[in-house]
Structure 1
Amino acid sequence: MVDLEVRDDGAIAVSSQDETLLYTPYRVTAPDGSVIAHESRGGSLAGAWATQLGTAFVEIAFLGDGPEGGELAMVVTEDGTTQVALGALVTDDVPADVPPSWPAAIDLALGLIADTTLDAGSKDDVERFHQRLLEIVHGL
């Protein structure tokens, strides 16, 4: 079994025995020390990267630009259970101007969430956030 720990700084550590993957919204450090980041942030990731960590399958995906661009989502699947981290795709505040790519990225993220996320609340919370973004994009 892997251990998932949401740290005080918002980073999420995924650990199995002596291996740890560290997830942040824009950068992931793999157990071998390599860094995964979207190409818009100086990395080489264009779509997805995956690894096996103990008995868990971990996938890092770029679903589309959010508020700043290059945001990464993480999906950890183990023993039929899936846990999702959305990082900076879901924010506390919604700006007055929302890029159209942001609600599209959230729409894709909603398909990954079973019930709750590690960092953005319940699927219902993410759906409400998605609706707020759509209202701004469409001037409602």
Structure 2
Amino acid sequence: MTHVETERDGIVIKGSESSLTYSPRAVTLSDGTTITHESQGGSLSSVWATDLGDCYVEVVYVGDGPEGGELVVVVPADDVIIVGDLYPAGSDLDLPGDVPPTWPGAVDLAMGLTTTTTTVLTSHGQITREEFDASHQRLLGAVNG
């Protein structure tokens, strides 16, 4: 059973008892509770987890990406990871002019949460793990020359 759906307002993970909506820097539960990283005014410092009824979900702060405070969501039952803005928008070859030095490390940690069969979702759609790895290599090149 798939719990993850892409909707107009974001990526939604639906369980039998509740749901949550993902955006790159905030996760909002169906009861209105919002989870954000400390750098975004929230209380999350590293990991937060919940059971949506029949779906366990982990929200992880792996480090700052392009803006800071980006969150990653892991849905183990569906072998899905949502990496949001950690994957650059637009062409996979395009990187912003200024790549924060923390971004490649955050991507590296997020990749460590995947397997060869994991579905990777970004703010802009689904990508392969290989595309995620290739963007990681380009980020490392941009930071380290």
Note whether the superposition's TM-score is higher than 0.5.
Answer: yes
State the 1:57 CA deviation: 1.3
Identity of aligned residues (%): 46
RMSD: 1.6
- Per the alignment, residue 82 of structure 2 pairs with 85
- Note the alpha carbon deviations across 1:15-62, whole angstroms, 9 max, x for none: 123511111111111233211001111111110100011222100011
AA of the residue aligned to 2:5: E
Structure 1: distance between partners of 2:46 and 2:15: 25
Structure 2 gap segments, 5+ residues each: none
Conserved in 1, the CA contact under 8 Å of 2:73 and 2:81? yes
Answer yes or no: is 1:124 the counterpart of 2:134.
Answer: no
Structure 2: distance between partners of 1:127 and 1:86: 12
Q: TM-score, normalised by structure 2?
A: 0.86
Answer yes or no: is 1:113 the counterpart of 2:114.
Answer: yes
Answer yes or no: is 1:3 the counterpart of 2:18.
Answer: no
State the 1:112 CA deviation: 1.3
Structure 2: distance between partners of 1:87 and 1:122: 14
Structure 1 gap segments, 5+ residues each: none
- Other structure's SS at 1:89 match: coil
Conserved in 1, the CA contact under 8 Å of 2:84 and 2:121? no
The alignment covers a number of residue pairs equal to 136
Conserved in 2, the CA contact under 8 Å of 1:2 and 1:56? no
